[in-house]
Amino acid sequence: AADLPHVSESDPTAKALGYVEDASTTKDPKHKAGANCANCQFYSGGPTGFGPCQLFPGKAVSAKGWCVSHAAKA
Ligand code: SF4
């Protein structure tokens, strides 16, 4: 998974979902403190770096990233 291309914030899907590579930079009111890709149920990568997200097939998102579809891991 390490070689998957990274999702760009300017990617249309990323824009639609308000994806940011660093959760601390989002101004979206839906963001809850501490929420990031690493603790999202759609993420299957490691705690740092980049990993796959079910919403971005074939690409990798940042562990410390975030988007509006964030759902906490059960
Ligand atoms: Fe990150 Fe979850 Fe959004 Fe995927 S769905 S980009 S893992 S917050």
pLDDT digits (tens, 9 = 90+) for 18-53: 999 999 999 999 999 999 999 999 999 999 999 999
Q: With 60 as the cut, is the pLDDT of residue 1 above it? A: no
Q: Does ipTM come in above 0.90?
A: yes
Mean pLDDT for the chain overall: 96
Mean pLDDT of 53-59: 97
Q: Ligand 1 pocket: which of 25, 41, 43, 73 to mutate (most atoms <8 Å of CB)?
A: 43
Coil vs helix vs strand at 53:
strand
- Per the listing, tokens 């990617």 go with 11
Cα angle: 60, vertex 21, 53; to 5 degrees? 30
Burial of 54: CB neighbours in 10 Å, binned 0-12, 13-18, 19+:
exposed
